[in-house]
Amino acid sequence: MSVPVPLDPPRRLVELEVDGRPVRVPEGSTILEACRSEGIETPTLCFLDTLTPVNVCRVCVVEVEGSRVLAPACSRRVEPGMKVRTDSDRVRTSRRMVLELLASSVDLSLASPDVGRWMRDYGAEPERYGPPAPAAEAGERDARRAGHHEEPVDGLAATVAQPVKVDNELYVRDYSRCILCYKCVEACGVEAQNTFAIAVAGRGFDARISTEFAVPLTESACVYCGNCIGVCPTGALMFKSEHDLRRQGNWDESRQRVVETICPYCGVGCHVELHVQDDEIVKVTSPLDHDITSGHLCIKGRFGYQFTQRRAPVGASPDPGGPPEHAG
């Protein structure tokens, strides 16, 4: 009963050299793919398999012989005869600087453990910029004018620290953790959701992810699909349930199970991963590598699970006027 399905046309192999080793990869591959095929670890922050690279974090840079500047491995395509160095002093210095500057100004404590390992591997010392400057007041960074230079405080490391934005019951935005990787902007925009509720505002160190005119999410175009949370690498965007449990000191991944099932709503059949702690769903994700969702969900699939527990949102008091208790 099976029928032929057109495959992508066959791709020629391209030969290049990575760190002196000959490598053959299909035409159109990126340097990152070539490195991965050789088992050469390349740090990435703004890269995600399901998104088109935006080349902003610069932590994956490599040296390409004959090229004046370092090239981002995540998006630079291989060419025949290319000579790539991933471990030269120039590459190591550049990667160290990126990690160091980010770690001195952003809270990376919830980023993947890989980040800490890279910091050690590349000898990053964020402490050398001094103790962190005091956190900004709520809304202060949002109000900064483009091009207006803020004088740094002597001896203190400038940071993006600021209060967490909590303006709805579904998810919070903790921009103290934001490394401006653009993934949320891309997932909200052309790469998946096409809602365009957020973008990068401001320039230089004042650059930040913002809704239009920095309005609260509830006044923005946000449709609460949570696809921004799904791609955030540092925990800046987080389920409110997770945020509240962390605040209370009750978030414990060692007590969590992840169960893959199917969203109970419409007929698309999105694969959802229910993260369960103490018999309660504490967050919902979707596998990046499943071709129905590519990791993306809608508001119902991501947040509409309360009915299975008939409980109030974590931290909120139960609605006394709510519907009757479970028939059981």
Q: What are phi and psi of 199, to 5 degrees?
A: -155, 175
Indicate the residue among 37 and 195 with the shorter CB distance to other proteins: 195
CB of 223 to other proteins, least distance (A): 6
Indicate the residue among 114 and 280 with the shorter CB distance to other proteins: 280
CB of 190 to other proteins, least distance (A): 7
- The span from the CA of 156 to the CA of 182, in Å, is 27
On whether the CB atoms of residues 131 and 157 are closer than 8 A, the answer is yes
Strand partners, 198: 211
- The span from the CA of 240 to the CA of 233, in Å, is 17
CB of 328 to other proteins, least distance (A): 3
CB of 283 to other proteins, least distance (A): 12
Indicate the residue among 122 and 303 with the shorter CB distance to other proteins: 303
Q: Dihedral of CA 246/249/253/255: which sign? A: negative
CB of 207 to other proteins, least distance (A): 26
Task: Give the CA distances from residue 276 to residues 217, 232, 314, in Å, rounded to whole numbers and listed in that order.
Answer: 27, 20, 14
* Residues with Cβ within 8 Å of residue 290, at least 6 apart in sequence: 271
Q: Provide the binding-site residues for other proteins, judged by CB under 8 A.
A: 1-3, 5-6, 168-170, 190, 192-194, 217-218, 222-225, 257, 259-271, 274, 276, 279-281, 290-294, 296-301, 303-310, 313, 316, 322-324, 326-328
Indicate the residue among 109 and 218 with the shorter CB distance to other proteins: 218
Q: What are phi and psi of 229, to 5 degrees?
A: -65, -40
Indicate the residue among 112 and 309 with the shorter CB distance to other proteins: 309
Indicate the residue among 54 and 263 with the shorter CB distance to other proteins: 263
CB of 305 to other proteins, least distance (A): 7
- The span from the CA of 208 to the CA of 312, in Å, is 32
Q: What are phi and psi of 76, to 5 degrees?
A: -75, 125
C-alpha neighbours within 13 Å on the C-beta side of residue 49: 9
How many CB atoms sit inside 10 A of residue 67's CB? 13
* Residues with Cβ within 8 Å of residue 69, at least 6 apart in sequence: none
Indicate the residue among 147 and 323 with the shorter CB distance to other proteins: 323
CB of 128 to other proteins, least distance (A): 43
